[in-house]
Amino acid sequence: MTTPSKPTVLESRLHSLPLMARGKVRDNYAVGTDRILMIASDRISAFDVVMGQPIPGKGELLTRMALFWFDKLGHIVPNHLTGEAPESVVAPDEVDQVRGRSMLVKRLRPLPVEAVVRGYLAGSGWKEYQENGQVCGVPLPPGLKNASRLPEPIFTPATKAEMGEHDENISFERLCQLIGAQRADEVRRTAIRLYSEAAAYALTRGIIIADTKFEFGLDEQDRLVLMDEVLTPDSSRFWPLDTYQEGINPPSFDKQFLRDWLESVTVNGQPWNKQAPAPELPLGIATATSERYQSALSMLTA
């Protein structure tokens, strides 16, 4: 399986539908009052800053992986897919912008939080654990190392930031205040089950899902519905099982490769301050990032 060779899409431009919003990756268009056309561009963000250069084939890869997981985990919670072809709601001259990188979804009332589940100690969680033995207020056993598997997956919600802002970790108590205790408990239980089943499957395919984040909305019947993307390299930390070692930062199939490069780059002789504008991505970094996404998709779906 090779990386798609179609032209990259940094921004979609549809004339047949009204644009609702451009996110870090997705462009959302209104389809009537009850549906949304979500187009996954080839944009990539890191440290909540969108890069100025696209990642070849990324939008198609993200869409294929999300559709794979929506299908595989559909028995746990309903999702936002309508089952209709995205090409059916755009003009003929716009089909090429949509094909392979879009989802036609139900319009929901989004919950204002990200449901983060961590199965391993990594990234900011590892840094916090070294300071206080906790991750986002969840106490953990002593003696854990970088990349240690946690005794049980933990739920660490975060607020969803506006473009250019940083997500903020919150306590479960704060989540209860935001969406109600009963709904918060439902989100926690559902997110942990989604992660646990996906992580168990991924292990059989040679991939460790160290952590991930889910987004949920409510439908007209006030039911919880899984939405946006799910278990992609943009929203998850993927490690190859065959090279995993506790105590070191494992190599990854996700955008950690890009983050590591950004951490090393200098702008005007100084480390990049993680504020827009982002440094220009060399072609080699963009291509290598695309190849990592492709490897993850191939391993999970082959």
Sign (positive or negative) of CA dihedral 266, 267, 270, 271: negative
The answer, as to whether pTM is greater than 0.85, is yes
* pLDDT tens column, 206-242: 999 999 999 999 999 999 999 999 999 999 999 999 9
CATH class of 110-243: alpha beta
CA dist., res. 98 & res. 37, Å (int): 9
Query: Which single residue is written with the structure tokens 């990592």?
Result: 292
Q: Say if residue 9's pLDDT is above 80.
A: yes
26-31: strand order across its sheet: 19-22, 26-31, 35-40, 102-106
Record the tokens describing residue 134, joined without a space. 């906790």
Average confidence (pLDDT) over 151-161: 91
Is the predicted pLDDT of residue 44 greater than 60, yes or no? yes
| pLDDT > 70: percent of the chain | 96
Q: Please tell me the least confidently modeled range out of 1-15, 84-98, 121-135, 201-215.
A: 1-15
**And the tokens for 224?**
């919880």
CB neighbour list of residue 136: distance below 8 Å, 6 or more residues apart: 116, 125, 128, 154, 156, 157, 169, 170, 171
**Domain regions of the chain by residue span:** 110-243
Give the tokens for residue 118.
């961590």
pLDDT digits (tens, 9 = 90+) for 159-214: 976 655 567 889 999 999 999 999 999 999 999 999 999 999 999 999 999 999 99
